[in-house]
Amino acid sequence: MYQHQCALLVDELVETERMLRRARANIAGLVQMNDLLVTGKMAVEEKLRSVEAELSLKNVEYSERGKEIMGLKKISYQNEYLRVENQRLLLEPVAPIYERASSYKRASSDSAFALVDISKCEPCQVEDTRASAEQADRKP
């Protein structure tokens, strides 16, 4: 009976040694894989640092260019606005521009004078106002 138990224990010991060898081989393989991963990680981290530095330089460069571009966009917008306004003014009749520019005129030739809004007056009424003002100045 002792021989049978010894045989069972020997078989169990042999099986345990085989399992131990497999575990050691697995551990050695995992250590080797870990070394490769650490080496790869360090290389990738170094590359990431260099890319971040390059990106930082590009951001500074593009922000300076961005300021220049925004200035050019503002100038372009102003240019376009002035071009459209110029075209609009060129298409307007000349009389309304004259009336707006000279909508206030002197009522008399005295040093103390009143301003008269003639923007709503007809051209003939404006002439009559001038004629009556000149006649009033001559009477005294």
Summarize pLDDT for 77-121 with one digit per residue, the tens.
999 999 999 988 888 766 555 555 555 454 444 444 444 454 555
- Determine the Cα–Cα distance for residues 76 and 60; give it in Å rounded to an integer: 24
Kindly state whether residue 128 falls inside one of the protein's structural domains.
Answer: yes
114 and 67 in one domain? no
What is the domain range of residue 108? 94-140
- Clarify whether residues 69 and 45 are in a common domain: yes
In a domain, 4, yes or no: no
Q: pLDDT band at residue 72, thresholds of 50, 70 and 90?
A: confident
Distance of CA 13 to the CA centre of its chain: 74
Q: What is the pLDDT of residue 23?
A: 96
Domain finish residue from 91, 110, 125: 91
Query: Could you tell me if 82 and 108 lie in one domain?
Result: no
Amino acid at 86: N
Residues above pLDDT 70, as percent of the chain: 66
Are 118 and 87 found together in one domain?
A: no
Query: Hey, is 118 helix, strand or coil?
Result: coil
DSSP 110: S
Based on the fold, state whether residues 71 and 120 are members of the same structural domain. Answer: no
Same domain, 69 and 48: yes
Residue 55 CA to residue 126 CA, distance in Å, equals 71
Do 59 and 22 reside in the same domain of the chain?
Answer: yes
Chain mean pLDDT for the chain: 78
Residues 6+ apart with CB under 8 A from 22: none
Would residue 5 count as lying in a domain? Answer: no
- Of the candidates 97, 119, 101, 118, the residue with the CA atom closest to the CA atom of residue 133: 118
Q: Does residue 24 carry a pLDDT above 70?
A: yes
Q: Which amino acid is at 110?
A: D
Number of domains in the chain: 2
Same domain, 22 and 65: yes
The residue-averaged pLDDT of 26-35 equals 96
Instruction: Indicate whether 57 belongs to any domain.
Output: yes
- The verdict on 100 and 82 lying in the same domain is no
60 compared with 122, residue with greater pLDDT: 60
